[in-house]
């Protein structure tokens, strides 16, 4: 049975046939209507990512202390949640990605990677505001040179609270996209991304809404470097890192502190450090990552089992 079929079978035990579905990421104005629906019906489904301020606003407007919220995320431990509200994690999207891509990935792993002098040190992919403004910062400090940054075109962006006085140095970006790129179609993108990500020392993984305080959310962006046997440096705070470690993944040894612009600054400091490596240092670093990369690939089945077990427990508690 596929991962998605197992997931759907467990979720169906809730016995709710007609789900009202809302997406706060695509439609921020949906927060209040979803809260009103939840207040009336006692259940609601929230798709895609969410941030802490949206969740708090939802609780305030729902004015309800019991019911079931099926969400595509796991709430961080420090988010408020009334004890009577059951949050059921819906990771159907990543299960669908794994069902479609995992077998292909088994033939795409790289072992004993050899680094060449002229290859890019890292590749980064970004589309939304949080990622694009990070791309502009990378360019402002010269980290675009010799590396691969893919992003849509954008006007000059600004940090609302410019802690590091970086706003004057940010500049508009011209479009630089991988072609062809199929949004929301990971299997079609697999062969497009494979040679690009494998051409660099590592992938700089820019997570969803990383400038804000996001809930824990897995997408295909978290899996490409694992599929392709390439080290991943993930732009994430310590709480999200801990969540992935609970799923059995071994994260890179560099702990980035803070959230928002502080987190960005911490990552950029490390990137500037890596840029200074000569070829022998880059190869030694690559060799040190090999076991972690392979063990993370082997851990995918275990991580899915943990997520399915948690889902089973959450559905049982919500019935």
pLDDT value for 256: 86
CATH number of 96-299: 3.40.50
Can you tell me whether residue 61 is helix, strand or coil?
Answer: helix
Contact 228, 194 (CB under 8 A): yes
Contact 11, 71 (CB under 8 A): no
The whole-chain average pLDDT of the chain stands at 93
pLDDT value for 101: 95
Contact 293, 230 (CB under 8 A): yes
In this prediction, residue 183 has a pLDDT band, given cuts at 50, 70 and 90, of: confident
- 63-113 pLDDT tens trace: 999 999 999 999 998 999 999 999 999 999 999 999 999 999 998 888 889
Q: Is the pLDDT of residue 270 over 90?
A: yes
Neighbouring residues of 128: CB distance < 8 A, sequence distance ≥ 6: 208, 209
Cα torsion angle, 120, 162, 263, 30, sign? negative
pLDDT value for 85: 96
Q: Is the pLDDT of residue 216 over 80?
A: yes
Structure token pair of residue 32? 């209040």
73 DSSP 8-state letter = S
pLDDT value for 244: 95
In this prediction, residue 159 has a pLDDT band, given cuts at 50, 70 and 90, of: very high
pLDDT value for 1: 87
| Residue count (the chain) | 319
Q: Is the pLDDT of residue 184 over 90?
A: no
The candidate with the shortest Cα–Cα distance to 267, out of 173, 174, 141, 172, is 141
Within 10 Å of residue 257's Cβ, how many Cβ atoms?
10
In this prediction, residue 212 has a pLDDT band, given cuts at 50, 70 and 90, of: confident
* Residue extents of the structural domains in the chain: 3-95+303-318, 96-299
In this prediction, residue 237 has a pLDDT band, given cuts at 50, 70 and 90, of: confident
- 8-53 pLDDT tens trace: 999 999 998 888 999 999 999 999 999 999 999 999 999 999 999 9
Strand extents, DSSP E, the chain: 21-22, 43-46, 66-71, 84-89, 122-125, 148-150, 202-206, 232-235
In this prediction, residue 169 has a pLDDT band, given cuts at 50, 70 and 90, of: very high
Neighbouring residues of 230: CB distance < 8 A, sequence distance ≥ 6: 110, 113, 197, 198, 200, 202, 203, 293
Q: Is the pLDDT of residue 213 over 90?
A: no
Residue 148, strand partner residues: 123
Q: Is the pLDDT of residue 195 over 90?
A: yes
What mean pLDDT comes out for the span 153-157?
94
Share of the chain above pLDDT 70, in %: 100
- 274-307 pLDDT tens trace: 999 999 999 999 999 999 999 999 999 999 999 9
Q: Please, is 187 exposed, middle or buried when counting C-beta atoms within 10 Å of its C-beta (0-12, 13-18, 19+)?
A: middle
């Amino acid at each position: 049975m596929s991962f998605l079929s197992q997931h759907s079978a467990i979720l169906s035990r809730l016995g709710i046939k007609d789900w009202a579905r809302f997406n706060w990421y695509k439609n921020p104005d949906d927060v209040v209507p979803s809260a009103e629906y939840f207040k009336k019906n006692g259940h609601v489904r929230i798709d895609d990512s969410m941030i802490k301020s949206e969740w708090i606003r939802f609780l305030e407007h729902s004015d309800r202390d019991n019911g079931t919220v099926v969400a595509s995320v796991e709430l961080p431990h420090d988010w408020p949640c009334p004890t009577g509200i059951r949050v059921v994690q819906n990771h159907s999207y990543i299960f669908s990605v794994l069902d479609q891509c995992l077998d292909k990935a088994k033939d795409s792993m790289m072992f004993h990677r050899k680094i060449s002098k002229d290859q890019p040190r890292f590749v980064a992919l970004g589309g939304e505001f949080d990622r694009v403004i990070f791309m502009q910062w990378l360019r402002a400090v010269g980290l675009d040179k010799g590396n691969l940054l893919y992003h849509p075109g954008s006007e000059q962006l600004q940090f609302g609270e410019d802690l590091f006085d970086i706003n004057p140095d940010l500049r508009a970006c011209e479009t630089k996209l991988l072609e062809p790129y199929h949004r929301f179609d990971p299997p079609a993108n697999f062969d497009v991304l494979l040679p690009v990500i494998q051409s660099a020392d590592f992938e700089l993984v820019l997570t969803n809404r990383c400038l804000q305080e996001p809930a824990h959310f897995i997408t295909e962006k978290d899996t490409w470097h694992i599929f392709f046997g390439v080290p991943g440096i993930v732009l994430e705070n310590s709480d999200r890192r801990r969540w992935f470690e609970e799923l059995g993944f071994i994260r890179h040894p560099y702990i980035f502190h803070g959230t928002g612009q502080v987190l960005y600054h911490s990552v950029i400091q490390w990137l500037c450090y890596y840029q200074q490596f000569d070829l022998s240092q880059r190869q030694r670093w690559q060799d040190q990552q090999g076991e972690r990369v392979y063990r993370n690939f082997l851990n995918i089945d275990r991580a899915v089992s943990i997520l399915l077990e948690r889902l089973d427990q959450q559905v049982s508690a919500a019935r």
